[in-house]
Structure 1
Amino acid sequence: MNEAIQRDIQAINAIEAIPHIMEILASTLRLRFICVARVTEEAWTMCSVLDNAEFGLSPGDELEIETTFCRTVRANRKEIVINHASADNEYRENPIPIMYGFESYFSYPLYDAKGEFFGTLCGLDPEPRELRTEAVHGQVSAFAKLISNQILLNDHIEQTLTQLSDAKNMARLQEQYIAILGHDIRTPLSSIQIGISFLDDLIKDSEVASTVQVPVFKAVSRMKNSVQRMSRLIEDTMDFTHTRVGQGLPVKLAVSNNLSQQINYTVEELATAYPKSSIRIHVDITRPLICDDKRICQLLSNLLKNALIHGDMSYPVYVKVLTNSNDFILSVQNSGTPISDESKARLFQPFWRKESNRQNEGLGLGLFIASEIAKAHKGTLGVNSDYNGTEFTLRFPLQTVSSNIFES
């Protein structure tokens, strides 16, 4: 048996309705043998069977095509129905009923997803049965059409799953490529960064500074900003691909000794970058905790930068970080236009940005990465937004984190 026929048998056996159809036909028509067969020009192969006549045929068994009426059904694309073979002028001398020992018989064509002949729905019994009636024809032809439609549906489902699998594999390859590319770009970028740092240190020298013109200062400053932005984009891309290719965002959980200091440094860094904005910070970490300091500060930076860009600059941005008896809580709140419910539903999706904000720098990964950092700490990142302000809040349970130290 070739692989194509094996797949056809599996496809028929995957159709849950077929055993029920055979039971119904056997009961209503009083036939002891019902089957679905795959019929080609060369072979007749059993796919599914209800054998109460004990003919001994099982799925995968084959019959010589010349010894079946299904060959004729295949050639004519038309059913064959026999009530009483030994008394029928057309079939009483035919060797096929004698060979298999049946008197009543039907065989209806089945079609595949391409509309081509697939096989037959057959029924027979050693005793005569009244099968040549409109009622029987309507019932059997309806079931044959149902099976054909199910073959078509299953084929479409299989094609869709194959296409989906191909698309997933392609997406995974693309993500792996991005990860490799991001990793390889870091090396030349680091060399550029070293060169810019050398130039920056050089022009800060009092003797050299007097001979350097203003445009040079500006050029080096722009280069530094460009490299920093490239570095952020690469880091965001690498983090994104980690969530797709790996098992989530990698974190290194450890006992935090100076998180308060690092949080203050992160806020100061952004305050320098956005001098026209006002940031109010309150840090009250009273308990030791286990976290990834770097990732927590990355989350804070993403949230704070988002607030500074989208908030009303005439009002301060509030940063609060604290621990209570159970949780670590970090929140960033800004004033401004409330976030719509539609936008809330998509805020933490990768690459999503409001149409009005398409010109802002970045890939639209900041909030997505922040949410992944929260998940990596077994916590949540939520948002509340109304006319009183917009507040993003990270919360994770101290006891859960402290009992699940891991590195991924």
Structure 2
Amino acid sequence: MLSENDPILESVRQVEVVSDITMILEACGTATGMGFVAVARVTEDRWMTCASHDQVNFGLTPGDELDVASTICCEVRAGRNIITIPDVENSNIYRDHPTPRRYGFQSYISVPIIRSDDSIWGTLCALDPAPREIDAEAEQLFTIFARLIARELDRQDEITMGRQEISAGRASLQTERDTARLREEFIAIVGHDLRNPIAAVTSGLRMLEKPNRSPEHRAMLVLEMQRALTRASQIITNLMDFARGRLGAGIEVNAPAPINLAPIFRDVIGEIEQVASQPVHSSIDLPRALVADPQRLGQLLSNLLGNAVAHGDPNQPIIVDISERDDELVASVTNQGTPIPPDVQASLFQPFSRNENKQKSLRGLGLGLYIASQIALAHRGQIDVSSSEEAGTTFTLRMPANPA
């Protein structure tokens, strides 16, 4: 039994007052499918649970301790790196490791929580008795949440110490507000937008298990699940880019050499065509290679097309026109449907902008157009919008065409 005077118990109190810590843990569990997620205080000689989300009866609650030498978190602390194990049995490093055998897990992820003074405070970790896929987006999600937790701990220490000058205090307050807003926005999206496609896939898999489904019905279910997974992928990609930008990394552009962009755009259009209810008519005329980031411009087009699919008339085609004109790369995406009011157009490229006039099923994440606009800016370009009953809604990218 720990003494109430035990100094490490203060760590439990600090984490308990982190806003939405329960939602953070649930979001991590949703992203990885792992049943136990925890924030752990890890020192050289101690490992203590500060907060946990337990759906597999792992049995650790705040204040519970493990022998730190028996955990992989001690290795994370020593190496200051993320450790991921999708499948213990297929891992050359951890197949015979004593920790998975001792605690009975087959998948694991742990990310260090690094304070502003560069010290390792602890870890954000998760495990499950079954193997689980851990992709790059899940690692980024854990990393961002670990940074948010570290910022909150820093903020608490600053308030307790009370050593800031008035100007520094104001800056700290602004940082606190920005962090709180980011956390609230981040959690709200993960808790709603990301869970919807996951629920759709889960429901589809359950229906596929029923033996009386016709081949046509099964094909329809598979298509719906593909649409849901495409939506989830777009949400995660945009969310990671937004969070990186808010944490100071910004939109990265990698354009080392000229590249033929036409195949990139055709691939993106093909992917959207597989999941869109509308037909997509495209015209691409790019006669020469251009210096640009192909992955980012593909993401930009995917976001514009995803927006057109979500908000366009399902019975009218989406028109894509991409060409080089007057030393500019010009790419437009047009859909038919209810025009966007001028007052709404003014805020379309702001993060978390949603058209409240749309029915709930069509309200998007509110990051796709923002990320697209930031990618355009990173290429010294911009995206404009026009919308009318007669011509439909058109988003147009214009950026310098940097030839080979």
Q: Which has the larger radius of gyration?
A: 1
